[in-house]
Amino acid sequence: MAGLRHENKILKVGRIVTLLCFSYLPIAILGAAIALFPLLGFALTSAIAGAAFWLLVVLGLVPALVFVVLASSNGALWEVFWRLPKNGYGMCSGSNDFEQDKAGVLPLTDWLHELFQNLANRPLNEPVTFGHLWNNGGNIEKERESSSC
């Protein structure tokens, strides 16, 4: 949603990256730590002080930002390629292979299938087709011929 506004492309990319990093904050912090800890360790253990120390810290923020974005992107890719397919891409089939819930009720899709099959006086394993609805025994060509005359 962050990228849907009509605005400058740099602002749009910035908003997307910011929301990506905040959405995966623990992973983003890990990415920042990977980039900053070695640099800060070097700066603190060496004899660098004053302006040179702060220049080193500021220069370390650039790779830290890159690591934050890369780590957050990896978190998002993990969600897309591993968790999303495992969750059926967020789609609910409404079916449970005709298993009733605790109250003895079928899920919606199973209940509708059973209802329509019973209304059409058909067994559950033979779905109703348009040919059955047109009352021609399933022959679609026969229906086309009769409707074209």
Q: What is the pLDDT of residue 90?
A: 77
Residue 29's pLDDT is: 92
Contact indicator for 34, 67 with CB cutoff of 8 Å:
yes
pLDDT at 103: 84
Q: Report DSSP letters for 98-118, one per residue.
A: T---TTS---HHHHHHHHHHH
pLDDT band at residue 146 under the 50/70/90 scheme: low
Q: How confident is the model at residue 139 (pLDDT cuts 50, 70, 90)?
A: low
C-alpha span between 97 and 105 (Å, rounded)? 12
Cβ-defined contacts of 100-109 (< 8 Å, 24+): none
Question: With contact defined as beta carbons under 8 Å apart, do 32 and 64 qualify?
Answer: yes
- Give the model's pLDDT for residue 36: 85
Question: Mean pLDDT over residues 16-43, rounded?
Answer: 88
Q: Which two tokens stand for residue 92?
A: 């609910």
Residue 110 pLDDT more than 60? Answer: yes
pTM of the entire predicted model: 0.53
pLDDT at position 1: 74
Percent of the chain at pLDDT above 90? 14
In terms of Cβ atoms closer than 10 Å to its own Cβ (0-12, 13-18, 19+), residue 35 is: buried
Does the pLDDT of residue 148 top 60, yes or no? no
Report pLDDT digits (tens) over 56-94: 778 888 888 899 999 999 999 998 999 888 888 877 767
